[in-house]
Chains A and B, each alone.
Chain A
């Protein structure tokens, strides 16, 4: 069993839709949770960073962490075609030492 599970998709939505992306994990030591966006053949770009449980909002993006269920989510409001990319969840037990990534979910937003 992988430490971090993420549905690879693709997830196809129309422009303007609310997108929900999720990851589950098995290691209860994880305390730091991140979402990265990766365009094709580019490096990952950090979108959201959350410590422990709770919600964090930044513009159209909201990250949620439920440590009791070992479940994290990223919501994208008013999705745009430019949001089409692969979204990677990542987590670590201590700061940014050894990030453990999910496989990534490919998101396609159609005009």
Chain B
């Protein structure tokens, strides 16, 4: 089954404790992206990757890191989480970035930083 998976689905952590949220897709997609979703603000892009070893900042990259060592995986790293990073996070992928390319979303990771 074609899908985007994320782990963990739910996470409670404390300020400053490094964490990684994994994202994997099995569709051989080139483009992958991380979003956060907050009430009233919609989905905002954190980082994106056009292909292996090609990543770039989105609209809200502060406090986050990513890597793309393999085509299928795109982990999101919070080196020192803070309470304002409490949010619902989605990973998404598409064949490539371009006209009419539908993005497929993972199930989401709900993060609470105390």
- Chain B associates with chain A: no
Chain B residues in the interface with A (C-beta under 8 A): none
Chain A residues in the interface with B (C-beta under 8 A): none
